Amino acid sequence: MPSGFLARAAALRREIERHNYAYYVLDAPTIPDAEYDRLFRELQALEAEHPELATPDSPTRRVGGKPLGGFASVRHAVPMLSIRTETDTEASGAQAFDARVRKELGLADSDPPVDYAAELKFDGLAINLRYEQGVLVQAATRGDGETGEDVTQNVRTIHAIPLHLKTGSPPAVLEVRGEVFMRRDDFERYNAKQREAGKPTLVNPRNGAAGSIRQLDPKLAAQRPLSFFAYGLGEVQGWKQAPLTHSATLDALEKMEIPVCGERVTGQGAAALIAFHDDIAARRDQLPFDIDGVVYKVNRFDLQRELGFVTREPRWAVAHKYPAQEQMTTVLGIEVQVGRTGALTPVARLAPVFVGGVTVTNATLHNQDEIDRKDVRVGDTVIVRRAGDVIPEVVAVMLDRRPTSEPSRFNILQRYPVCPECGSHVVRLEGEAAARCTGGLYCPAQRKQALLHFAGRRAMDIEGLGDKLVDQLVDLGLVHTPADVYGLSQETLASLERMAEKSAANLRAAIEASKATTLARFIFALGIRNVGEATARDLALYFGSLDKLLAATETDLLAVRDVGPIVAQSIVQFFAEPHNIEVVKRLRDAGVRWLESTGVQQSAGILAGKTLVLTGTLPTLTRDAAKEMIEAAGGKVAGSVSKKTDYVVAGEEAGSKLAKAQELGVTILDEAGLLALLEPDDGNAQHRFDF
Ligand code: IVH
């Protein structure tokens, strides 16, 4: 064999594994994916051409070989034990363990505290990795503790697991024990990809890890994103200067580039264990993977040997569990909740179940697609998950437990054709996941949100009408729709909590002042789904009058700049709801008015294609008002002056922008000049006040 190939293959392997370790263990990629792929393909080609070059620890072995007929049995050289679980979830669990250890070791109260190692209890699948002369030769599951299954092919596909140990003098035999698991982000990503491809998803990361390892087709296993953390040893032969403690062992494994979790401590006595327990409990939900507790171990191996075992459990270790985050229960019913935006969220009513530390009776089903995907029906037995403060959710249905009298599928639109809060129609817009109530301003569930939006600075701009007041006005039944705001007297306002006479007067004045507005603001204030400020402005400019907008069909709306089918549909649906038309009418009756124009269906805006810059303080118009007027006329407002600027509108204390305009010879206008520009007398845009 030409030695050049041999050396090249060895160099490629070393380099690929180095990048692999950086990417999968250190989470710090060293080269672009494409470059990694190139190296990998070169090695693959080399090994294909010279099969004698292939080694059992070549990274090319990670892609998974032929499907297996079954797994061979592996007898463990050293049994894989289980671990006693401390049922007491409070601090006393650690105290009880420490007390037992001290008693077994014959320690008196006056003796010093015991050294412990504390680490996480990973929620995956236990695996024994056997390295001979530093090369991974076998990976086996725990099985019954005596005999497991040979899953070497699948484990090789886990990139975080080294195919050989990084050390100059590997032990003759080193069995590393640890947990194969799936990170939550990998789990979510994998499921999203599966969902997109219409393929089955994983129920939870734990099942994902266990199922992948026991997958007979290693190519499929290779597609599952798995991780690994070591937590102990099996058989060991010929390890020179083998560590004498558990924590030093994990440090040594880490040096050999075996992944070891950083969340581990050593400490003395029960107090150290309790501190670790509480620290991790507080951060459990921020960890990138699921755990079901923490594990305490006597750190010194000589003391571990002295303590020994009871049946299959060591006396020197204990698992201290946290409340489970997933439980089984049954679905008693499915209802919907109408949210502040009108979205109908389906909620499963559950037989009460203790999960994630609290009793849960409701769980979100998110939306119709999620119900369909999980196929949740009334009467089903389901797995509920509650992690941290996140809303409990139904993660999966136990199909084998479905009642024989098959309950029917749940369909939101069929079950709730109208909103349970206000009776308006419920629709599901194309491309949207949520079914929504079209009640908008009228729906009590959406009232507070609608009012706040209506009064907002960029909408009707009613200064002083903030969330505290809106809460009171709605809760006291004083305001049902935004139109009611205009009927509020100063006395009523003054009677509200935290409202002095003066602020009531100010608010009353702000309400009155808000009546004179622009069509764009008014449209925006209505809070039509998918109609933001820019769209509202485009609509106002295009139609010029509210009545034209009200009469517009979807086709008419599609002619407006930037209005697509979804926006058009939202608008038509909003105005098709009689409640909304009623609110609009009442607002106009209350005196809300704006300047109308003929619109630009026939002609472009006066300032179409023109760029203006505003600088300094104008005598009457605020900056926002001037900008709005310019934009309503089709012009653009830019932030800085350039050769492309058509006009600079300058007020008091105009600074460098004015100077720049003079330098470039750009036309300079004052406020009157701007207004003259906007109100030409050629009749192109006939403005009138609509009272
Ligand atoms: S030590 C002799 N440490 O828990 C003690 N086990 O019942 C052997 N596990 O299925 C286990 N995290 O896979 C140990 N940090 C940890 C662990 C851990 C998870 C699992 C292990 C086994 C079970 C033990």
Contact 173, 238 (CB under 8 A): yes
List phi, psi (to 5°) of 393: -135, 155
- Closest by Cα among 39, 19, 38 to 257: 19
pLDDT at 682: 41
Find how far residue 473's CA is from the centre of its chain. Answer: 34
pLDDT at 622: 86
Contact 641, 657 (CB under 8 A): yes
Nearest atom of ligand 1 to the alpha carbon of 232: 1
Cα of 377 to ligand 1 centre, how many Å?
Answer: 37
* Cα→Cα distances 141→2, 145, 408, Å: 40, 9, 41
Nearest atom of ligand 1 to the alpha carbon of 261: 15
* Atom 14 (ligand 1) nearest CA: 231
Cα of 179 to ligand 1 centre, how many Å?
Answer: 8
Burial of 237 per CB tally in 10 Å (0-12, 13-18, 19+) = exposed
pLDDT at 601: 57
What tens digit of pLDDT does each residue of 422-438 get? 999 999 987 888 999 98
Torsion angle (degrees, nearest 10) of CA 648, 654, 656, 662 = 50
What tens digit of pLDDT does each residue of 249-294 get? 999 999 999 999 999 999 999 999 999 999 999 999 899 999 989 9
pLDDT at 88: 67
What's the order of all strands across the beta sheet hosting 688-689?
Answer: 516-517, 593-596, 688-689
pLDDT at 376: 95
Cα of 246 to ligand 1 centre, how many Å?
Answer: 13
Contact 404, 314 (CB under 8 A): no
Cα of 117 to ligand 1 centre, how many Å?
Answer: 13
Query: CA torsion sign, 563 to 567 to 571 to 573?
Result: positive
Cα of 498 to ligand 1 centre, how many Å?
Answer: 59
Q: Report DSSP letters for 646-664, one per residue.
A: -EEEE-BT--HHHHHHHHH
What tens digit of pLDDT does each residue of 149-160 get? 999 999 999 999
List domains and CATH numbers for the chain.
Answer: 3-63 (1.10.287.610), 88-321 (3.30.470.30), 326-415 (2.40.50.140), 433-602 (1.10.150.20), 611-689 (3.40.50.10190)
Which of 86, 121, 263, 320 best tests ligand 1's pocket when mutated (most atoms within 8 Å of CB)? 121
pLDDT at 686: 38
* Local structure of residue 590 (DSSP, 8 states): T
* Residues of the chain under the 70 pLDDT cut: 1-2, 64-65, 87-91, 600-604, 680-691
Pocket of ligand 1 (CB under 6 A): 81-83, 119-122, 126, 142, 179, 231-232, 295, 314, 317
Dist. CA 174–CA 327, nearest whole Å: 38
Which are the catalytic amino acids?
121
Dist. CA 382–CA 691, nearest whole Å: 59
- Closest by Cα among 20, 68, 66, 67 to 43: 20
- Closest by Cα among 648, 671, 644 to 661: 648
Dist. CA 665–CA 522, nearest whole Å: 38
Residue whose structure tokens are 């030769």: 137
Which of 144, 287, 295 best tests ligand 1's pocket when mutated (most atoms within 8 Å of CB)? 295
pLDDT at 688: 34
Nearest atom of ligand 1 to the alpha carbon of 317: 5
Contact 341, 389 (CB under 8 A): no
pLDDT at 287: 94
Cα of 80 to ligand 1 centre, how many Å?
Answer: 9
What tens digit of pLDDT does each residue of 51-70 get? 888 888 899 888 766 777 78
- pTM greater than the 0.75 cutoff: no
| 20: amino acid identity, one letter | N
Nearest atom of ligand 1 to the alpha carbon of 126: 13
pLDDT at 685: 38
Which of 84, 177, 231 best tests ligand 1's pocket when mutated (most atoms within 8 Å of CB)? 231
Express as a percent the part of the chain with pLDDT over 90. 62
Q: Give the count of alpha carbons within 13 A of 157, CB side only.
A: 23
What tens digit of pLDDT does each residue of 620-645 get? 888 888 888 888 777 888 889 998 89
Contact 234, 178 (CB under 8 A): no
List phi, psi (to 5°) of 525: -60, -25
Dist. CA 129–CA 253, nearest whole Å: 12
pLDDT at 690: 33
The SS3 assignment for 207 reads: helix
47-75: b (≥16 Cβ within 10 Å) or e: beeeeebeeebbbbbbebeeeeeebeebe
